[in-house]
Homo-oligomer: A and B are copies of this chain.
């Protein structure tokens, strides 16, 4: 039995409140159980220096966690004077994942920055950031399309992410913090709506894992992503 009482292949309840931020071009508060992430997409009509006059757009991401999003307070990164290696690794993953679903020619020479700020954490914050970040990005792009600033839709597909792991020998989907801290293997999967793989990351915690086990985790991920994409669609339609 999982600590959460969920079935092995059961996602946490997903709630996506769009338009959470008044100022951002696109935004949502995504809640995957007790993990709550505020995602905002900010549009700028300029690109980083390496893309000037290239005709290509850019999508990037930043990630942060409020000091008391977790069970014990973490030091504020702004006060520490730098972002941790973990933070940088996560925001690089979010940006790379979202860009995989973007036609940068269609976007044109503009940049969209997706900020993912964890308000409350209970495991799976990087995956929630990708899933919610895509919704914020979708809404910002919709605004550009509606205003006629871009002609064809630069978003080629949904992008969503979910974690899987091996808990007590059993492969399970969408780990919360209690499950994650006990899991023997921890994996994150980023997929498109049509099932294409964008990122696959699996790490042994303690014992190594087998190809068969990893395959099982990928099966779970495909199930989970289907549920998350459905939630994205409902939120956008809403």
Interface residues of A, Cβ cutoff 8 Å to B: 21-24, 27, 34, 38, 40, 42, 44, 62, 64, 66-73, 76-83, 85-89, 91-92, 96, 100, 113, 115, 117, 119-120, 122, 187, 191-192, 196-204, 206-211, 214, 218
Contacts and interface: CB of A to CB of B under 8 A. Distances in A.
Contact of A67 (B42, B203, B209): B42
A86 B85 CA distance: 9
Contacts of A113: 67, 73
Contacts of A214: 197, 200
Nearest to A156: B208
B208 A198 contact: yes
Copies of this chain held together in the complex: 6
A92 B93 CA distance: 15
A73 B62 CA distance: 12
Given A197-B210, A209-B197, A64 B76 contact: yes
13 contacts: A21-B68, A38-B119, A62-B67, A68-B115, A73-B113, A78-B78, A82-B82, A100-B204, A196-B208, A197-B204, A199-B203, A200-B201, A200-B202
A34 B214 CA distance: 33
Contacts of A210: 196-197
A178 B27 CA distance: 23
A15 to B, nearest CB: 15
Contacts of A207: 196
B209 A196 contact: yes
Contacts of A78: 64, 76-78, 80, 82-83, 87
B211 A23 contact: no
A103 to B, nearest CB: 11
Given A21-B69, A40-B67, 9 more contacts: A38-B66, A85-B89, A86-B92, A119-B119, A192-B208, A196-B208, A197-B211, A198-B204, A200-B200
Query: Which of A22, A71, A77, A115 has the most chain B CB within a 10 Å cutoff?
Result: A22
Contacts of A38: 66, 119
Given A21-B120, A78-B87, A199-B202, A208 B66 contact: no
